[in-house]
């Protein structure tokens, strides 16, 4: 069985859980999420998985 896990949905899931648990961190979590998604878009997800 082969499981492929994309990085972007995993990051968004963790960010969503953190926002639910600690709503005060919303701005910080959104900023980090956008930076990570931007880096994935620039360099490709295969670069981070090696």
Q: With a cut of 80, say whether residue 34 has pLDDT above it.
A: yes
Is residue 33 within 8 Å of 12, Cβ to Cβ?
yes
Residue 23 lies in a domain: yes
Number of domains in the chain: 1
Residue 33 lies in a domain: yes
What pLDDT, on the 0 to 100 scale, is given for residue 47? 56
**What's the mean pLDDT in 2-19?**
74
**What's the mean pLDDT in 23-28?**
84
Paired tokens of 3: 């499981």
Distance of CA 43 to the CA centre of its chain: 14
pLDDT bin (cut points 50, 70, 90) of residue 1 is: very low
> How many beta carbons lie within 10 A of that of residue 14, not counting itself?
13
Residue 11 lies in a domain: no
Q: What is the average pLDDT value for the chain, to the nearest integer?
A: 75
**What's the mean pLDDT in 15-34?**
83
Residue 35 lies in a domain: yes
Is the C-alpha dihedral spanning 23, 29, 34, 37 positive or negative? negative
Residue 5 lies in a domain: no
Residue 6 lies in a domain: no
Q: What is the domain range of residue 31?
A: 17-42
Angstrom distance (rounded) from CA 22 to CA 42: 29
pLDDT bin (cut points 50, 70, 90) of residue 11 is: confident
């Amino acid at each position: 069985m082969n499981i492929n896990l994309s990085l972007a949905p995993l990051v968004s899931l963790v960010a969503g859980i953190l926002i639910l648990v600690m709503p005060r961190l919303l701005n910080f979590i959104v900023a980090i999420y956008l930076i990570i998604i931007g880096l994935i878009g620039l360099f490709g997800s295969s670069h981070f998985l090696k």
